[in-house]
Structure 1
Amino acid sequence: MKSFDKSRQLFAEARQIFPGGVNSPVRAFKAVGGEPLFIERGEEAYLYDVDGNRYLDFVGSWGPMILGHAHPAVVASIVEAAKEGTSFGAPSRRETELGKAIRAAMPHLEMMRFVSSGTEAVMSALRLARAYTGREKIIKFEGGYHGHSDGLLSKSGSGLATLGIPESPGVPAAFAAETLTAAYNDLDSVEALFDRYPGQVAAVILEPVAANMGVVTPEPGFLEGLRELTRERGALLIFDEVITGFRVKRGGAVEKFGIVPDLTTMGKIIGGGLPVGAYGGRKEIMQLIAPSGPVYQAGTLSGNPLAMAAGLATLNELEKPGIYAALEDNAAALAYGISAAARKSGLSLQVNRIGSLMTVFFTSQEVTDYACAKTSDTEAFRIFHRTLLENGIYWPPSQFEAAFVSTALSHADVETTITAIEKAFAAVKEGRP
């Protein structure tokens, strides 16, 4: 049995300073029992906690550590940038260099603006969509999480689903009323909202691959239908690629599915794991942003030189031949091994995967939307998670989050993980943690 004494001590201290002892809710491990681990360091595919325990990491700082932890090229770029200064509040060459690298991978981003988080990127993109269309209502999807800004916490997945919070107090009813909610993979539900609120919908926003209700892929025709419907009704289509960007393909969901949105939001992966976000899209829309246009949005730390350097180093590494093929091979092998272990144990579950993202759902029902995801047995997941932790696997501490595969993961690591998962499934069958 592993010792977690130092983590417990640090958590007790943290609870005297931070609400719930953490600075982001899903870190608290409330959905899986026990208390959170305090991480000392990361190296390649591994995390090390303050008690000296080592774990294969499938959280990856919730996605951006696609190269693994402390990648030499990324670390070197941060050190070099830090020696020149950590923040200027003025333009620097690295902003343009990273912008060019992003646009090279995603040519549909004719113009973009750097911000400091995915939440800020989405908030800004929606303001821009409302200004461009002259409309106020937004359509999102049940289980879709787009950050914690007031208008987007209606029927959100991710942390709210993890904690069992249906809505967040503190959101004015007037704000919530401007957000309409449809069912993911259900075009009829979207069209019904357009019919109910004719000429009032500014944009439809979605994760092109849902990853905050767990990983749920779009069914054939769904994204195509949204593109056609938004064009017909005079609304913008916004892809939230905070998680899928540079994960499902180098060119994100646009490269994967061939559907081009009007605006795209991105997050921490373009900063190599440092705090960063961006939104961009068609030039005619983006030119409404100040100072070229009247839509105001600003940020003192936007384009922070350390984040720009880390992001550019990460994207340069992702250009190397064979990177995405290796990611696909390892993720596919892991998903296959999980499914085989489940069959062997007699458990009914679903393994949803696309690219280097996956979720294990403890349900016999195919998971195609939030309602299906909510049929998962969260007690089984709690046992699964706790057993993996004891066996050196750091899996996301929520049924409704994605697991992430990094390029640092080896074939041997995949086999080690599958062995641990077999033990976890045995524990689930026995009903013991």
Structure 2
Amino acid sequence: MSRSEELFLKAKTMIPGGVNSPVRAFKSVGGTPPFIRSGQGAHITDVDGKVYIDYVGSWGPLIVGHTHPHVVEAICRAAENGCSFGAPTEAEITLAERIIERFPGMEMVRLVNSGTEAVMSAIRLARAATGRDVLVKFEGCYHGHADGLLVAAGSGLATFGVPTSPGITRAAARDTLVLPFNDLTAVETLWAERGNEIAAVIVEPVAGNMGCVLPLPGFLEGLRNVCDTHGSLLIFDEVMTGLRVDRGGAQTLYNIRPDLTTLGKIIGGGLPVGAYGGPAKWMEMIAPAGPVYQAGTLSGNPLAVAAGLATLDLLDAPGAYATLAAKTRYLVKGLDQVMCANNIPCLINHVGSMFGLFFTSAQTVANFTDVSNGDINRFNLWFHGMLQEGIYLAPSAFEAGFVSLAHEETMLDQTLTMAERVAGQLRAA
């Protein structure tokens, strides 16, 4: 029995499912998750000593790689002065200033402790700003585990949402409506019927929680238009895409200005942090400037702020984003060639340094149904084959992959060599 297997069995006796976040348990792909001991650059090493090339990167934020010396030095320097004060620090202002500079519509920003908290707070603000209750989200987009967001679609556009987890009341779910991602007709129909009730629509501008699904031309523009027409707010959940697909996130890449933006731990170099921001007229409604309450002792904690500033330093180096995009294109092109050579139906979406691989013969993957119709069993075989060969991918067909500045060309080539080997096994099977 491996050390990871021993630890997993032990963990299950004390931690629900043996993990502290569900996807880590490998439930959708089967098998035992490797327990990670350390990370360096684009590599992680498990407790059994096996080294992997990592395309998860702590689910996206490690865009400069694991334990980058500049980031580690910044964290250590901050820790020497104190890990938490529950009081304001000068560095918080610097980080806020640098975030605001990146996102054109963001005049003010509030630091929080996670992406979930950022989303929860932005929705509360949107409801306060509009005086309305209803929120619209899209199937397959994940915005954290707040009660009103763990909701599935009802039987039609006019129905309220249905809770997808025990413990969520109908009252918490009823003010959330769910539409298909990339379906602008459904959006326009809903707003025509109930636009005066809708406080906001929240969207991942690139849906990274169903495997990197890009917005179809006109979709994001259509969301902006219906919100402008009906007085609803447009919230971009850039917890995954912010700083990842472009220096100013997806809103800069696609030239769409949301009313509110949420960000996640990438702004803290992977440490626990989040943020939400927008125009001053909305943000000044947040306590203590205004009546909308939100607070947190660890918000803007010194370690996360220091790591975030160090990460932004590295991302602001000349050519950083061009390099990330080029690495990703190289990997995706190679994977596509491997699949074609082995006659395996496959579609690979990518944008910036995000990518998603779908085992499907479809020409496009544009929504949750498209992803679900892919060959999930083949993905699971692919995942375990790559894991065996030392390539660490997200353990779910519904998750994106990420390339970092630490992924050198030799690592990308090694990944493609292993992909060729695994694809051959899939073809034979």
Q: Which moved more, 1:43-52 or 1:30-39?
A: 30-39
1:267-306 equivalent positions in 2, closer than 5 A: 267-306=264-303
SS at match of 2:243: coil
- For 1:116, the equivalent position in structure 2 comes to 113
SS at match of 2:196: coil
- For 2:159, the equivalent position in structure 1 comes to none
- For 1:369, the equivalent position in structure 2 comes to 367
* Contact 2:92/2:305 (<8 A) preserved: yes
- For 2:403, the equivalent position in structure 1 comes to 405
Deviation at 1:30, TM superposition (A): 1.1
CA deviation digits over 1:155-211, x for unaligned, max 9? Answer: 39xxxxxxxx99211111111110011111111111222223241000010001111
* Contact 1:180/1:193 (<8 A) preserved: no
SS at match of 2:209: coil
* Contact 1:272/1:314 (<8 A) preserved: yes
* Contact 1:383/1:427 (<8 A) preserved: no
- For 1:180, the equivalent position in structure 2 comes to 177
* Contact 1:129/1:202 (<8 A) preserved: yes
Out of 346, 350, 354, which is 1:357 matched to? 354
SS at match of 1:239: strand
1:3-82 equivalent positions in 2, closer than 5 A: 5-82=2-79
* Contact 1:144/1:155 (<8 A) preserved: no
* Letter of the structure 2 residue corresponding to residue 273 of structure 1: G
CA deviation digits over 1:213-264, x for unaligned, max 9? Answer: 1101111111111101101011000000000000110111121011000000
* Contact 2:114/2:274 (<8 A) preserved: yes
Deviation at 1:344, TM superposition (A): 0.3
Distance in structure 1 (CA, Å) of the matches to 2:186 and 2:169: 25
- For 1:161, the equivalent position in structure 2 comes to none
Length-normalised TM-score, structure 1: 0.95
* Letter of the structure 2 residue corresponding to residue 256 of structure 1: L
Distance in structure 1 (CA, Å) of the matches to 2:254 and 2:292: 31
- For 2:137, the equivalent position in structure 1 comes to 140
Distance in structure 2 (CA, Å) of the matches to 1:266 and 1:337: 31
Distance in structure 2 (CA, Å) of the matches to 1:24 and 1:64: 16
SS at match of 1:79: helix
- For 1:83, the equivalent position in structure 2 comes to 80
Q: Which moved more, 1:196-205 or 1:343-352?
A: 196-205
- For 2:315, the equivalent position in structure 1 comes to 318
Distance in structure 2 (CA, Å) of the matches to 1:222 and 1:311: 31
Deviation at 1:363, TM superposition (A): 1.1
* Contact 2:163/2:173 (<8 A) preserved: no
Cα RMSD between the aligned structures?
Answer: 1.2
The answer to whether 1:101 aligns with 2:101 is no
* Letter of the structure 1 residue corresponding to residue 377 of structure 2: E
- For 1:418, the equivalent position in structure 2 comes to 416
* Letter of the structure 1 residue corresponding to residue 266 of structure 2: I
The answer to whether 1:429 aligns with 2:427 is yes
* Contact 2:191/2:226 (<8 A) preserved: no
* Unaligned segments of structure 1, at least 5 residues: 157-164
1:157-306 equivalent positions in 2, closer than 5 A: 167-306=164-303
Deviation at 1:276, TM superposition (A): 0.3
* Unaligned segments of structure 2, at least 5 residues: 154-161
Distance in structure 1 (CA, Å) of the matches to 2:152 and 2:308: 32
Length-normalised TM-score, structure 2: 0.96
- Percent identity over the alignment is 53
- For 2:378, the equivalent position in structure 1 comes to 380
* Contact 1:128/1:288 (<8 A) preserved: yes
* Contact 1:388/1:420 (<8 A) preserved: yes
- For 2:158, the equivalent position in structure 1 comes to none
Distance in structure 1 (CA, Å) of the matches to 2:118 and 2:335: 35
SS at match of 1:324: helix
* Letter of the structure 2 residue corresponding to residue 387 of structure 1: G
* Contact 1:246/1:252 (<8 A) preserved: yes
* Contact 2:129/2:282 (<8 A) preserved: yes
Q: Which moved more, 1:47-56 or 1:374-383?
A: 374-383
Distance in structure 1 (CA, Å) of the matches to 2:197 and 2:180: 19
CA deviation digits over 1:303-329, x for unaligned, max 9? Answer: 000000000000111000011111111
* Letter of the structure 2 residue corresponding to residue 81 of structure 1: A
CA deviation digits over 1:325-348, x for unaligned, max 9? Answer: 111111001000111011000010
Distance in structure 2 (CA, Å) of the matches to 1:408 and 1:242: 21
* Letter of the structure 2 residue corresponding to residue 334 of structure 1: L
Distance in structure 2 (CA, Å) of the matches to 1:296 and 1:22: 32
Deviation at 1:154, TM superposition (A): 1.5
SS at match of 2:109: strand
- For 1:160, the equivalent position in structure 2 comes to none
SS at match of 1:309: helix
